[in-house]
Structure 1
Amino acid sequence: MKILITGATGLIGRNFIRRFHQYHYVALSRRPEAARKLLGSSVELIQSLDELTNLDGFDAVINLAGEPIVGKRWSRSQKRLIADSRFTTTLKLVQLFEQSSQPPATFISGSAIGIYGINAAGLHETSPVTADDFAANLCKEWEQIAQQAAELTRVVALRTGIVLSTQGGALQKMLPAFRLGAGGKLGSGEQMMSWIHIEDMCAAINFLLHNETITGAVNMVAPNSVTNAQFTELLAKELHRLAIIPAPAFALKLALGEAASLLLGSQKIEPRVLESAGFEYRYATLSSALENLISEKE
């Protein structure tokens, strides 16, 4: 299988390539030297989608490109960067599908559970999407652009939750403080967190590559959401540390502004499509996920 992949050097992309190394990858990277070190010599690299006139010869496209949404204040310029990094690449891919005489059979494109809003409870793929905040509107437009290719290929939107890994993402950022015993809940700690182990994330993408009956939105989360307080308690327990230094909501809002909503908002999201299709999670509970990740790091 020949796959064009964007965002290949990100947490999900590089882990997917390492795990499913049997595929022939063509990866988009504006920094080929750095990408070569991360991805290895077997991955073919291109620096721009303009190097392609069509997608003939590819079996699938996995689109994971996008400026990280967490970690910086959402200034007007940062919001534009976050949006453009997603929309421009996705629109170019749609155009390449349109220019193909034999387009790839599958187009798996990124999105996030942020589409459901910052106070989402028990929502699934067919739930109405009515939220009107920045993250929700970002995801809605991102999915709508990808969906323009639906007459030419099978489009799947990865509505991704918090991806747990010690190699990047939220957990990696949290570990130093928790190892020092300086970790704690965020705000009230009552907000729900919908998460997925990096191994299950990659396995689910591969599952979607080969399951031709699945189209549209897919919630990329484990079936057991937890509160932030529960997450804090389990992580501290796994590290044999106390977690008694909370991060007050006002402090997070002061530091991150509007972007603090990603940390303080509550999202309990159900992965109905994956479960109905028979996907088997290796790490369905947070305790099993953290035990694996922390023991692996130790």
Structure 2
Amino acid sequence: MRLFTTGCTGFVGRALVPALEAAGHELILATRHPDRARRLSSTAQVVVADTRQPGPWQDHVATAEGVINLAGEPIAEKRWTDEHKTLLQQSRVATTRNLVESIAAADPGPQVLVSGSAVGYYGTSETGTCSEVSACGNDFLAHLCQEWETATRPAQGCCRVVVLRIGIVLGPDGGALGKMLPVFRLGVGGPVGSGRQWMSWIHRTDLCRLTVAALADPAFRGTCNAVAPNPVTMGEMATALGQAMGRPSLLPVPAPLLQALLGDGAMVVLKGQKVRSDFLKERGFDFAYPRLPEALEDVVHASS
């Protein structure tokens, strides 16, 4: 397919672009960072755009057969001031609204929209288990995800819509884990916060494979939890990461240190939720990394 994409230069997008091209897709990369986009692909069409704002970039959506929407300012890199919360909201919700407006106006237009969301939709819990039918939570991230997903709804009458509620993405060069690796390399890593909070995760390779599958398979429709089938507690994650790195993992990573590293986004790992994907289980999706130890071994090897 010819695909219009947002978020292509981010942590997930950097791996997704080559995966999409390997699957035979032709890409239009909408970005505020054209140099970064061109380093990712020598064949993709690069469109300079601030997708938070309407503009000429929307004309390119009509030329595409599919749309991938992964735009969004990183959650776990800055303090959540009122100004930054607005930026988090605009980069996701305004972009999605502008994309959906373009899809609705196109004739014939894209046949499929794959749009990101997050397991933060469910709020936080140390005891409950969430599936795709679970209720929305009641904190800032939950409300942000709800608004983000609601923005996709007008497209449902125009094309097939897949919303991926993405867990903590594991990769060597970004995300929460990318910032935690140096702590463990120094031998001072260990359980994060209480260690009892749940971590619903997915290896970046599997997220890319899932996105490719969602584009091609008409059975993908509606909401899908993009998480591996074996969530763990943060204590279990710390033990597995220490083993993968050959480092001790006994010293707790205190909440203040994590907040210094991740800002207010530390709540993503200090508070969690146990999420399962009934959608992927029913469809028999074949994970390359279904279990955390193997996923961390791959990430640690790639980062060394």
TM range, smaller chain = over 0.9
C-alpha distance in 1, partners of 2:31/2:5?
Answer: 9
Alignment map for 1:256-267 (pairs within 5 Å): 259-267=265-273
Matched AA of 1:145: A
**1:124 corresponds to:** 131
**2:188 corresponds to:** 182
**1:44 corresponds to:** 45
**Deviations 1:70-96 (CA, angstroms, capped at 9, x unpaired):** 122211111001001111111110110
C-alpha distance in 1, partners of 2:62/2:83?
Answer: 36
Q: 1:241 to 1:147 in 2, by over 3 A?
A: same
Listed as ranges, the gaps of 5+ residues in structure 2 are: none
Candidates 267, 271, 274, aligned match of 2:277: 271
Alignment map for 1:56-205 (pairs within 5 Å): 56-119=62-125, 121-129=128-136, 131-205=137-211
Q: Secondary structure at the match of 1:139?
A: helix
- Kept in 1: contact 2:255–2:270 (CA 8 A): yes
CA shift for structure 1 position 286: 0.3
**Deviations 1:36-56 (CA, angstroms, capped at 9, x unpaired):** 12x121111111252233633
Q: Secondary structure at the match of 1:33?
A: helix
- Kept in 2: contact 1:55–1:99 (CA 8 A): no
C-alpha distance in 1, partners of 2:262/2:280?
Answer: 33
**2:29 corresponds to:** 27
Q: 1:176 to 1:257 in 2, by over 3 A?
A: closer
- Kept in 2: contact 1:57–1:102 (CA 8 A): no
**1:8 corresponds to:** 8
Candidates 210, 216, 219, aligned match of 1:210: 216
CA shift for structure 1 position 226: 0.5
The count of aligned residue pairs is 296
**Deviations 1:95-115 (CA, angstroms, capped at 9, x unpaired):** 101210102110011100000
C-alpha distance in 2, partners of 1:242/1:107?
Answer: 44
- Kept in 1: contact 2:244–2:296 (CA 8 A): yes
Q: 1:251 to 1:176 in 2, by over 3 A?
A: closer
CA shift for structure 1 position 208: 0.8
Q: Secondary structure at the match of 2:190?
A: coil
- Kept in 2: contact 1:184–1:244 (CA 8 A): yes
- Kept in 1: contact 2:76–2:264 (CA 8 A): no
C-alpha distance in 1, partners of 2:166/2:226?
Answer: 5
- Kept in 2: contact 1:111–1:139 (CA 8 A): yes
C-alpha distance in 2, partners of 1:230/1:209?
Answer: 34
Matched AA of 1:26: I
Matched AA of 2:3: I
* TM-score normalised over the length of structure 1: 0.94
CA shift for structure 1 position 259: 3.8
* TM-score normalised over the length of structure 2: 0.92
Q: Secondary structure at the match of 1:119?
A: coil
**Larger CA deviation: 239-248 vs 75-84:** 239-248
**Larger CA deviation: 67-76 vs 118-127:** 118-127
- Kept in 2: contact 1:54–1:97 (CA 8 A): no
Q: 1:283 to 1:137 in 2, by over 3 A?
A: same
Q: 1:151 to 1:226 in 2, by over 3 A?
A: same
Q: Secondary structure at the match of 2:145?
A: helix
- Kept in 2: contact 1:187–1:246 (CA 8 A): yes
